[in-house]
Amino acid sequence: MKPIFKIIATTMATCLFIGSTQAATAIRIAHDSQESSPLHQGLLHFKEELNKRSNGDFAVDIYPAGQLGGVRETTEMVQQNNLQMTTAASVLMSPYVPEFNVLDLFYLFDNREQAHQVLDGEAGQALLDAMESKGFHGIGYMELGFRSFTNSSRPLNSLEDFSGLKIRSAANPSQISAWRAIGAAPQPLAWGEIYTSLQQGLIQGQESALLSVHTQRFFEAQKYLSLTEHMYSNHVWFTNKEFWDNLSDEQQSLINEVAQEAITLQRELSEQQNQETVAILKKAGMEVNVVNAETRAQLKEKLNNAIESDIRSKTGDALYQTVLNAIAGTR
Q: Can you give the pLDDT of all 331 residues of the chain as single tens digits?
A: 544 434 443 444 344 444 444 579 999 999 999 899 999 999 999 999 999 999 999 999 999 999 999 999 999 999 999 999 999 999 889 999 999 999 999 999 999 999 999 999 999 999 999 999 999 999 999 999 999 999 999 999 999 999 999 999 988 788 899 999 999 999 999 888 999 999 999 999 999 999 889 989 999 999 999 999 999 999 999 999 999 999 999 999 999 999 999 999 999 999 999 999 999 999 999 999 999 999 999 999 999 999 999 999 999 999 999 999 999 999 8
222 closest CA partner among 308, 284, 151, 156: 151
In a domain? residue 6? no
Report whether 270 contacts 36 (CB < 8 A): no
pLDDT score, position 131: 98
Task: Tell whether pTM > 0.85.
Answer: yes
Name the phi and psi angles at 126, rounded to 5: -60, -35
| Residue 8 covered by a domain | no
In a domain, 22, yes or no: no
Residue 233 bridge partners (DSSP): 145
Buried b (16+ CB within 10 A) or exposed e, 274-302: beebbeebeeeebebeebeeebbeebbeb
Residue 81, in any domain of the structure = no
Q: In whole angstroms, give the CA distance from residue 266 to residue 289.
A: 27
Q: Which domain holds residue 270?
A: 86-328
pLDDT at 5: 38
**Inside any domain, residue 154:** yes
CATH of the domain at 306: 3.40.190.170
Confidence at residue 13, expressed as pLDDT on a 0 to 100 scale: 39
Q: How far apart are CA 221 and CA 194, in angstroms?
A: 10
256 phi/psi in degrees, rounded to 5: -60, -40
Helix residue ranges per DSSP H, the chain = 3-23, 38-53, 71-79, 90-93, 112-119, 122-129, 173-181, 194-199, 210-215, 241-245, 249-283, 293-315, 317-328
187, part of any domain: yes
Number of domains in the chain: 1
> Is the residue at 44 inside a domain?
no
List alpha helices for 148-248, DSSP H.
173-181, 194-199, 210-215, 241-245
Confirm whether 123 is domain-assigned.
yes
Report the SS3 class of residue 307: helix
DSSP run (H or E) holding 140: strand 136-151
Largest CA distance in the chain: 91
